[in-house]
Amino acid sequence: MIGLIQRVREAKVEIAGRTVGAIGPGLLVLACAEPADGEAQVERFIAKILKLRIFSDEAGKMSRSVQDLDGAGTAGGLLIVSQFTLAADTSGGNRPSFTGAAPAEQGRALYERLLARARALHPQVGAGEFGAHMQVHLVNDGPVTIPLRVT
């Protein structure tokens, strides 16, 4: 599973002018399932995201996770968006190949599983819509952008 994690002050996803998911401070997670992925990768992916220490403490060090933004137990938001283009292969020319992404049916099932696990483990989870043409708006905080791959 491939991810791109962005620390944000706020983020939202719109489809046809309608906001379908929005968060304040937290993480925007762009996620792509690969053909070999299954439940184990989803579990490792969400566990890593929830424990990733990329929020600053009082000393300015990145030592807090999205589960404890303020050091007093306040959780930040997660906005999880499917993005098969993270599996792009540009080695064969100028037009990317996306054969590294899971087929649509598998990708949808794993994305839905990821959302279900995130919602079971975290209090504030927003989402995009699998396969939809979306506009993602964000204010990247830092900027902090972390690539993530779990196998």
Catalytic residue positions, numbered:
83-85
- The CA distances from residue 142 to 34, 55, 56, 125, in Å, are 29, 10, 10, 22
Contact predicate 121/48, CB 8 Å: no
Contact predicate 125/77, CB 8 Å: yes
Burial class for 66, CB neighbours closer than 10 Å (0-12, 13-18, 19+): buried
